[in-house]
A and B are shown apart, each in its own frame.
Chain A
Amino acid sequence: MALNLTKLMEGIYAQARENGSPVNANFELTSRCNLKCKMCYVCRPVNDQDAKSQELTAKQWIQLAREARDAGVLTLTLTGGEVFLRQDFKEIYEALARMGFILQIYTNGTIITPDIVKWLSKIPPSRVSITLYGGSAETCANVTGYAYAYDRMLRAVDLLNNAGILTEMKTTVIRDNIADFDSIYQLAQDRKLKFGIVNYVSPRREGSFSDPEGCRLSPSELDRFERRVKQINRERRENEEEVALDDAVAHDEGPLYKQAGEHDAKAFRCAAGSTGFWITWDGKMTPCGLMDKPATDPVQQGVKAAWETLKQHCRLIPTCETCLQCEYYSYCDSCPGRLLTESGCYTRPAPYLCETARLRSVKID
């Protein structure tokens, strides 16, 4: 009866992979955001009426959630854009919170008020994940476009944490905030919170004002940064949380698919398209948040049928043979989503990923 959650999930994912059933879903409730982060892959202005008119309604999201639950989905992440921008977020969340999911919310926290926390604490999610973009108001302003972001993000973290809602801090590291990394890490440590880092910044998925490639770390900067994180983890004290290198969009399936050197015949190394899916703000089902294709239509087809079609499309995605043969493959984060956004092709290696992998492989005393 009492099982470690990681062990439990490993078993469930293994079985789901055999069955071909989805376990993990992400609902991207909106593409609109009140911040203008330089590295964001999906972010439209708050009052973008065109985007707003194409967003699925609360009723549609609730119906999709019901169908996703019936199809087998256990962990459901609500993400954006900024989810709290939706006037009907409360309606959506309250319905989903009673459907039997392990529910988590990704937010920038800046529009979370004491009233929202009071409401949320009565029907809490499994976890709220807040991304902090700098160790100071100045850095946050550089990254997000707004100086107020820093105070508001921390206020949200503290309000949620003090209300007993399991809260996680994350950061996405780019050139504009890398110098702040230690202070961001310290902010999480001071609060004894789980801390994750998004270390891969993807080229943007859809048109917006952001410029991810212009601000992301170069391969050598990224390699130095990752070595620094490893050092922090080596030096951390027993009571301190390990710093996890994370991903903004991948489906976390634990260690099953992430073992270095594991060469699998299938193109995806994560759960995308085998046990996980993403539904975009305008209602497309895709393997993950990076990819705008293959896409199916869960609103018209229903979730189960859309999932079956998506799986078939994913099986047809070719594996990059050059990547598979590469001596640095086990150090590389290449996947169909990244190859497509980086090189425009599933089977063409992406120089950014190649160079990062090569540098990671170099042993330094």
Chain B
Amino acid sequence: MKVKDGFMLREVAGQWLVIPIGERVVEFNGIITLSESGALLWKAMEEDVDEEALVKVILGEYVIDEATARADVAGFITMINERDLLDA
């Protein structure tokens, strides 16, 4: 599972943003804002990863229980999938 190419994750003045670049602007002319944990997941998903690996990323960074981490990861994947940002 991987996010599509043609997006750049940037932190601008404390705000995490995903910005379409180059040819990607044709189909996605906007900006995505992410929370800090969302940015962490997005960065991990720039490479091909599975859901288990994403849960570990969250657990490695935040002091939360595994069930909450799993729910957060699942929610994030659903959200970016709905916006057609996952590589097919």
Contacts and interface: CB of A to CB of B under 8 A. Distances in A.
Interface of A: 1-3, 5, 8, 11-13, 15-16, 19, 21, 23, 69, 72, 74, 94, 97-102, 121-126, 164, 166
A19 B31 contact: no
Contact of B33 (A1, A69, A164): A1
B23 interface: yes
Contact of B19 (A19, A102, A122): A102
A166 B23 contact: no
Nearest to B6: A98
B10 A100 contact: yes
Contacts of B13: 11-13, 15-16, 19, 21, 23, 72
Nearest to B30: A5
Contacts of A5: 30-31
12 contacts: A1-B79, A1-B83, A11-B13, A12-B13, A12-B15, A100-B10, A101-B19, A102-B31, A124-B25, A124-B29, A126-B25, A126-B29
Contacts of B60: none
Name the prevailing secondary structure of the B interface residues: mixed
Name the prevailing secondary structure of the A interface residues: loop
Nearest to A70: B10
B15 A122 contact: no
A13 B15 CA distance: 11
Given A11-B15, A19-B14, A100-B8, A3 B22 contact: no
B11 to A, nearest CB: 9
A8 B31 contact: yes
B30 to A, nearest CB: 8
Interface string B65-84: 00000000000000100010
B63 interface: no
B37 to A, nearest CB: 12
A164 B27 CA distance: 11
Given A1-B79, A98-B21, A123-B22, A15 B14 contact: yes
A124 B26 CA distance: 7
Contacts of B14: 15, 19
A122 B23 contact: yes
A100 B19 contact: yes
A126 B10 CA distance: 17
A134 B65 CA distance: 66
